[in-house]
Structure 1
Amino acid sequence: MFHGSMVALVTPMSADGALDFDALARLVEFHIENGTDALVAVGTTGESATLDVPEHIEVVRRVVKQVAGRVPVIAGTGANSTREAIELTRLAMEAGADACLLVTPYYNKPTQEGLYRHYRAIAEAVPIPQILYNVPGRTACDMKPETVARLADIPNIVGLKEASGSLERNRELIARCAGRIDLYSGDDDLGCASILAGFRGVISVTANVAPRAMHEMCKAALAGDAASAEAINADLTGLHKQLFIESNPIPAKWALQRLGLIPSGIRLPLTPLSESCHEAVLDAMRQAHVL
């Protein structure tokens, strides 16, 4: 249903933390002009944890309006409360999102059965297409491939963003689930190899800063052109690493500020990129030919 380079969009903010909707509109146009295949609004990279519900849905609404049907818009609507996730998913659907991305419940550490029932309840309550999101390094919750395989039987669960950091896990998911739901890498450094192995795209932090290159890499990999995909990806390896030198989205927001696309704002408890990290991120941007 969705494929290619799907940017995990940052949420622009002014220095005082207020949402900057003019910068958001500029970012949307930047991505469409540079070939981004879908936009993920207010995922975890979009600082969903520190936006209140009205802000959250207003960002989705603004992105949908600015995109105007040119590419798909996927709204982050995950929560560690099933009731809250259902409400966010319903509101995102009403705001015009094409699909929703739902991170596994964080902190409360559900069992695999709890994860299955959580996602089933959301899918049954809201008919919009839904993409599961597994990122155990940030949630302390790992959704196992067998649970994903069970959830793949639910008609409006259409995909999985897998960010466990394991190519072996990705291959197991392909063996169990390919052809039943679409699989997307949530790890930029594994994106190229994962697509060449059978994934359908990357939900990408790197695409915030290098959207054209990420689009071209994904396009080549989806076409089975490993040599071209790997050559493009080689220039992106620095960004894949250095955009996580501090907690995401701290480095990505700093890089976008350097490119003049957004102001400096980020909400506590996140803080601006440490000065000691600036040169590493700049070097990665130069390697990727975005500076």
Structure 2
Amino acid sequence: MRLSGSITALATPFTASGEIDLDAWHKLLAMQLEGGTQAVVVAGSTGEAAALYDAEYDAVLRAAVEFVAGRIPVLAGTGLSNTAKTIELTRHVAALGADAALVVTPPYVRPTQAGLVAHFRAIADDGALPVVLYNVPGRTGGDLLPETVAELAGHPGIVGIKEAVSDPQRMQALLPFKSEGFAVLSGDDPTACRAMLAGADGIISVGSNVLPAAFRRLADLARAGRGAEAEAWDARLRPAYDFLGLEPNPIPVKALLSAQGIGHGLRLPLQSLSAAHQDAARRTAGLVVELEHVCRDTLAA
């Protein structure tokens, strides 16, 4: 598997009564395909995986696999705080039809770097799916360091990393590990353009939930080395980045999805966007419509 370009970390839509909204889920998936998204992640942190019951997790993954029908890869978030449980879940999603597993560093337990090497190797050996490493220290409490990634990048079952550390030095340290069998992907929307211009293979994005065509355009420009055009387009996306960072993910992006008629909120302990940010939400929703129209008009031309 070779992952690249614009990949969406999907939010999971709920009904007004708090159930999984499969109609909205299909609408979101259709919007991704129409916008040119090149892979999707189901039940990652943006998808509120920790708030999903096992049957719900299975239902959204199964529905995504069936709806996408092989047109783009479907990744499933399987990272847990215990290695054996992560292997079990990864084998389970393989049976449901996932193409790869996005495996975050074990939350809360803070293993050593040697422990992380053993953890990811065990999952790649026994999980029955290609593994994409996911490093997001702000959520997990642990940092997968570049020298540790170097030990893992050559494993045939480990096919890439989603790196959410925004420091440009971190991306520069990871780019030498790129190969045909190992993709380096940004996991931070505001710095993804810079990362892709430096050589990153793509982005796993939150904002592309609502801006799939806009993020595809950004990825295409940056990966083609069209620096001035990519940076100009990135500047137009900047207000969306700012809004998406106002409250913890996925609160802001779900407010924008709700404005598009996709879903009705979150599950506790997450709450809907605060009243103080509602004006910003309305402005950003208007920007989303404008930018997506620009991209689709460009494609039509």
* Percent identical: 45
Match of 2:4 in 1: 3
Match of 1:160 in 2: 161
**Contact 2:42–2:61 (8 Å) recurs in 1:** yes
Match of 1:273 in 2: 273
Matched residue type, 1:143: L
Q: Following TM superposition, by how much is the alpha carbon of 1:223 offset from its aligned partner in structure 2, in angstroms?
A: 1.1
Per-residue displacement from partner, 1:208-259 (whole Å, max 9, x unpaired)? Answer: 1111010011011111111221121111111112112111001101101111
Q: Following TM superposition, by how much is the alpha carbon of 1:290 offset from its aligned partner in structure 2, in angstroms?
A: 5.0
**Contact 2:214–2:291 (8 Å) recurs in 1:** no
Per-residue displacement from partner, 1:9-51 (whole Å, max 9, x unpaired)? Answer: 0001112321111110111001101111111111110000111
**Runs of 4+ off more than 6 Å:** none
Match of 2:109 in 1: 108
Q: Matched residues in 2 for 1:27 and 1:174: separation?
A: 32
Secondary structure of 2:133 counterpart: strand
Q: Matched residues in 2 for 1:226 and 1:86: separation?
A: 41
Match of 2:41 in 1: 40
* Counterpart check, 1:60 vs 2:64: no
Q: Following TM superposition, by how much is the alpha carbon of 1:186 offset from its aligned partner in structure 2, in angstroms?
A: 0.4
Residues 127-138 of structure 1: matches in 2 within 5 Å?
127-138=128-139
Q: Matched residues in 1 for 2:128 and 2:259: separation?
A: 40
**Contact 2:90–2:128 (8 Å) recurs in 1:** no
In structure 1, stretches of 5+ residues that fail to align are: none
Matched residue type, 1:84: K
Match of 1:283 in 2: 283
Secondary structure of 2:200 counterpart: coil
Q: Assess, with a 3 A threshold, how the Cα gap between structure 1 residues 286 and 167 changes in structure 2: closer, same or farther.
A: farther
Q: Matched residues in 1 for 2:212 and 2:89: separation?
A: 28
Match of 2:50 in 1: 49
What is the aligned residue count?
A: 289
Match of 1:230 in 2: 231
Matched residue type, 1:270: L
Give the stretch that moved more between structures: 276-285 or 125-134: 276-285
Q: Matched residues in 2 for 1:90 and 1:84: separation?
A: 10
Q: Matched residues in 1 for 2:246 and 2:273: separation?
A: 9
Root mean square deviation of aligned Cα: 1.3
Residues 75-86 of structure 1: matches in 2 within 5 Å?
75-86=76-87
Q: Matched residues in 1 for 2:282 and 2:169: separation?
A: 32
Per-residue displacement from partner, 1:248-289 (whole Å, max 9, x unpaired)? Answer: 0011011011112x1213111100110111222333343442
**Contact 1:112–1:147 (8 Å) recurs in 2:** yes
TM-score, L = length of structure 1: 0.96
**Contact 1:61–1:96 (8 Å) recurs in 2:** yes
Match of 2:213 in 1: 212
Match of 1:120 in 2: 121
Q: Following TM superposition, by how much is the alpha carbon of 1:53 offset from its aligned partner in structure 2, in angstroms?
A: 2.3
Match of 2:298 in 1: none
Q: Following TM superposition, by how much is the alpha carbon of 1:131 offset from its aligned partner in structure 2, in angstroms?
A: 0.2
Matched residue type, 1:242: F
In structure 2, stretches of 5+ residues that fail to align are: 293-301
Match of 2:299 in 1: none
Q: Matched residues in 2 for 1:26 and 1:287: separation?
A: 20
Q: Matched residues in 2 for 1:257 and 1:290: separation?
A: 18
Q: Matched residues in 1 for 2:112 and 2:102: separation?
A: 20
